[in-house]
Amino acid sequence: MGTNGSLEVIPLGGLGEIGMNLMVYGYDEKLLVVDCGLTFPGSDTPGVDVIIPDATFLNENRDRVVGFVLTHGHEDHLGAMPYIWPNVEGPIYGSAMTLGILKNKFREHGLLEKATMIEVGNRQPFQVGPFNVCFIQVSHSIVDSAALAIKIPLGTIIHTGDFKIDHTPVDNRPTDLYSLARYGENGVLALLSDSTNINRQGSTTSESVVAGALAKVFARAQELIIVATFASNIQRIQQIIDAAQRENRKVIISGRSMQNNIEVAKSLGFLRIPDGVLLDMRSFPHLPRKEIAVISSGSQGEPNSSLSRIAAGDHREIKIQPGDMVVLSSRFIPGNEQTIWSLVNRMFRAGAEVIHESNLPQIHVSGHAPQEDLKLMLALTRPKFFIPIHGEIRHLQSHRHLASHMGVALENSVVAENGTRVIITADSITLGDPVPSGRVFVDGKGVGDVGDIVLRDRKHLSEDGLVVVVLVVDKISGAILQRPELLTRGVIYEEDHRDLLEQVKEAVEEALHLGPKGMDFTEDEEVGPKDLAQRAVRRFFKKKLGRRPAVIPLVMEM
């Protein structure tokens, strides 16, 4: 742990990748955890629900953890809390909106009564162990976001969280440039800054630009209009509601996460919704379609999301009809493009017009700082040391070089990855011994019980299919008592390939007759009917069809 003369910065998630942000600060034998996020599975993790950081380091040092501080309410910054916090515990600090979202999650996991959550405001320092923390208001794509000023006797660390510099945000809560400049004037030991949009040139496009695009789209919509956006983007939801109200449309919310976040935002005063504008889903069949605007979650085409069910025609109430309009007010997150285009095609096929960032760029603006904003952050804080955070290696390296152009010497900055231990003293920044890190898969109620071997088997099954061979043999002699039975899934359609299945059975019977030597087993191997049948089936399908299904032999002894 960091001593009185050094600070340790230990990323467990979010460095070398997008999402799953989790940063640990160590000083005077104590640990402060900043954010605790998750990421979502891709094609290489079939069946997995979410992915969270490996928290072995925190679990092993739980007695040293003095608290969790959350910068904002996005899933990639707090979504792993229900899985990691129970093994570590400690007070949780955050803004009103952030804690409102977290309370819903903890309530679902039966953790709400066990947790101590402390709401903090901007420019109001609070002490967590040896760390004096102060929230600094920043603009982002979710309300109530904050950067952090973390003071220790060694100096001040600025941890930006996700941010952009929007001078005219919809909620009238711009990034607090004054506080950032004040910290810079007094001296910043280290800056850890968001790198997500480092490769985008220019300055932030204001969220207020989206209002004009939405107004034009709503004005020409003739029938039902469905607008999909991120469930956490309260500012965008406000603009959609305002656009609907101007066109005398009632608003219906579709999607549980969207409903939960709207309820929290309304209760905290972040959403202004006039009486009678927001209606229950049960009202949908009783109103003319041209008088309704639906706000839906699922803008990334997530399976089972509200928008995916609408596009597939599986939604209980909402069906797309010719003349309807669907608006995707969100960016195409890299890796999701194919899924989103498939969603768009289904909606076009149903007769809807689909508006998205490719045909109307103003329908969405990013919540992350591009190059000029990142330069301004560096110029205001004037850090001695610099660590780029939130991004893949290419983002982090680019941000480090940007910092060098802004006056931070290269020897005073490092590119760290998950598990790296960065040691900062008054005069140096170096790398220490790494700590355990990695990804933990959450599948249903299981956390960490799905590993690489299970995922490999799932991919094998999904790509090559499964063959089950059932054998009935004599318990004493091992002789086969009846013909093998076969069950295939994802290999062939059995009804159309009965002759082929007969050939497979014959191959199994021949293998059992020839024995180990006839199937190329060595004399040292212990071989039974199960092994012979498995090898015979594998060989048959490889030779006959060029396929490699998973083969499971079941032997019943009589």
Q: Please report, for the domain that includes residue 469, its CATH number.
A: 3.10.20.580
Environment class of residue 530 by beta-carbon count within 10 Å: exposed (0-12), middle (13-18) or buried (19+)?
middle
Give the CATH number of the domain where residue 289 resides: 3.40.50.10710
Q: Establish if 1 belongs to a structural domain.
A: no
Give yes or no for a contact between 107 and 115, defined as CB atoms under 8 angstroms apart.
Answer: no
Alpha helices in 198-275 (DSSP H): 208-220, 234-246, 256-268
Strands 22-27 and 7-13: antiparallel
Number of domains in the chain: 3
Q: Do residue 184 and residue 281 come from a single domain?
A: no
Q: What is the DSSP letter of 162?
A: S
Q: What per-residue confidence (pLDDT) applies to 471? A: 82
What percent of the chain shows pLDDT beyond 90? Answer: 65
Q: Which of 35, 54, 194, 373 is catalytic?
A: 194
Residue 188 pLDDT grade (very low, low, confident, very high; cuts 50, 70, 90): very high
Q: Do residue 333 and residue 381 come from a single domain?
A: no
Give the CATH number of the domain where residue 414 resides: 3.60.15.10
For 156-165, the pLDDT digits (tens) are: 999 999 999 9
- pLDDT mean over 478-501: 80
Q: What per-residue confidence (pLDDT) applies to 296? A: 94
Mean pLDDT of the chain: 90
Q: Do residue 167 and residue 188 come from a single domain?
A: yes
For residue 194, indicate whether it is catalytic: yes
Q: Establish if 225 belongs to a structural domain.
A: yes
The pair of three-digit structure tokens given for residue 231, joined into one six-digit string: 């469930």
Q: Do residue 351 and residue 373 come from a single domain?
A: no
For 387-398, the pLDDT digits (tens) are: 999 999 999 999
Q: Do residue 43 and residue 137 come from a single domain?
A: yes
Q: Do residue 319 and residue 395 come from a single domain?
A: no
Q: Do residue 230 and residue 136 come from a single domain?
A: no
pTM across the whole model: 0.84
Q: Which of 72, 74, 368, 399 is catalytic?
A: 368
Residue 158 to residue 424: CA distance in whole angstroms? 14
For 106-147, the pLDDT digits (tens) are: 999 999 999 999 999 999 999 999 999 999 999 999 999 999
Between 525 and 157, name the one with better pLDDT: 157
Task: Give 336-374 as a DSSP string.
Answer: -HHHHHHHHHHHHHTT-EEE-TTT-GGG---SS--HHHH
Q: Do residue 298 and residue 330 come from a single domain?
A: yes
For residue 368, indicate whether it is catalytic: yes
Of 398, 415, 449, the position where a domain reaches its end is 449
**Three-class DSSP category at 150:** strand
Q: Do residue 60 and residue 99 come from a single domain?
A: yes
Q: Establish if 511 belongs to a structural domain.
A: yes
Range of the domain at 476: 465-557
Specify the DSSP element, H or E, that contains 375: helix 371-381
Residue 496 to residue 397: CA distance in whole angstroms? 56
Q: Do residue 225 and residue 256 come from a single domain?
A: yes
The pair of three-digit structure tokens given for residue 7, joined into one six-digit string: 């600070």
Q: Do residue 330 and residue 442 come from a single domain?
A: no
On the question of pLDDT at 513 being above 90, the answer is no
Q: Establish if 67 belongs to a structural domain.
A: yes
Give yes or no for a contact between 533 and 509, defined as CB atoms under 8 angstroms apart.
Answer: no
For 62-82, the pLDDT digits (tens) are: 999 999 999 999 999 999 999
Q: Establish if 498 belongs to a structural domain.
A: yes
Q: Establish if 458 belongs to a structural domain.
A: no
Q: Do residue 167 and residue 127 come from a single domain?
A: yes
- pLDDT mean over 513-539: 76
Residue 278 to residue 262: CA distance in whole angstroms? 11
Of 361, 394, 421, the position where a domain reaches its end is 361
Q: What per-residue confidence (pLDDT) applies to 216? A: 94
On the question of pLDDT at 1 being above 60, the answer is no
Q: Establish if 454 belongs to a structural domain.
A: no
Q: Establish if 438 belongs to a structural domain.
A: yes
Of 403, 425, 449, the position where a domain reaches its end is 449
Give yes or no for a contact between 363 and 353, defined as CB atoms under 8 angstroms apart.
Answer: no
